[in-house]
Amino acid sequence: ETGVTQTPRHLVMGMTNKKSLKCEQHLGHNAMYWYKQSAKKPLELMFVYSLEERVENNSVPSRFSPECPNSSHLFLHLHTLQPEDSALYLCASSQVSRSTDTQYFGPGTRLTVL
Amino acid sequence: GENVEQHPSTLSVQEGDSAVIKCTYSDSASNYFPWYKQELGKGPQLIIDIRSNVGEKKDQRIAVTLNKTAKHFSLHITETQPEDSAVYFCAAPPTFGKGTMLLVSP
C-alpha cells in the first residue's frame, strides 16, 4: 500500500465546509485517478489525469474539483458537499501503455458529510 | 462506453471449496482485464490480470479465464481459505464490476 498514499484516511465535514483530499504516488506512473466508492454501487471513475491531460466524467458535480500539480500528486477539492457525497474516495495511479493499464490503488479517504 | 456486469454479488463457500466469479463486458475493443481484491478498510489490490492474447492464466490457487468471442471472463479460486474472504472486483479499465463479496467459512 505504500505505493499510493492518501490523506486524510477519515474526514467528517459539514455541508458548508471546504476541504481537500490528497494523494501521492511513489511508483513513477504517468496517470492518476479519482474514484468514488459507495455502498452497493460499482467504483465510479470521477477524474483522470493521463499524460498531463485531464479527462473527467461529466456526471460529477462541480462541487468536486481536482488538481494535479505534477505526475506524483493529486488533490480533490471539496466544497458545499451534500450528505449523498459520503463515500470512500479512492485514488489510483498507472503507467499508461498500449498493452496494459494496471491501476494501483491507495487505501482511500472515508468521507462523511453531515 | 464500456459496461461490465459481475455475478454473483455474494458468494459463501466452505473452506477448501472452489469459488467462481463471472464478468461480462460490452466493448469488443477491451483487451486487458484485471481482478482486484478489497479487504475491509483497504483499497482494491490487484491479484491477477489477463490480456486478450491468452485464454487462461494461473497463479497458484487463482486462475482467470477469458472468452473474447463471448466477451466474458472469470476468476477461479481453488482450495479457498478464510483469508480469501473479501470483495472481489473485475474490470475492463476504467470500468469496474459491482463487486462480489466472498465469504469463506472455516
pLDDT in tens, A26-54: 999 999 999 999 987 778 899 999 876 77
Q: Strand A87-94 relative to strand A73-79: parallel, antiparallel, unpaired?
A: unpaired
pLDDT surpassing 60 at residue B93: yes
Residue A96 DSSP class: -
Checking if the pLDDT of A1 tops 60, the result is no
| DSSP label of A9 | S
At B63-88, the pLDDT tens digits run 999 999 999 999 999 999 999 999 99
Contact A42 B41 (CB under 8 A): no
Q: From chain B, pick out residues whose CB is under 8 angstroms from the CB of A1.
A: 42-43, 45
Q: Are strands B19-25 and B72-77 parallel, antiparallel or unpaired?
A: antiparallel
Question: B62 to each of A47, B20, B56, how far by Cα in Å?
Answer: 31, 10, 11
| Sign, Cα dihedral of B50, B99, B25, A85 | negative
Please give the average per-residue pLDDT across B34-39, as a whole number.
96
Nearest Cβ partner for B44 among A40, A48, A105: A105
Query: Please, what is the average pLDDT of chain A?
Result: 90
Flag whether pLDDT at A55 surpasses 80: no
Choose, out of A103, A109, A110, the residue to mutate when testing the contact with B (most B CBs < 10 Å). Answer: A103
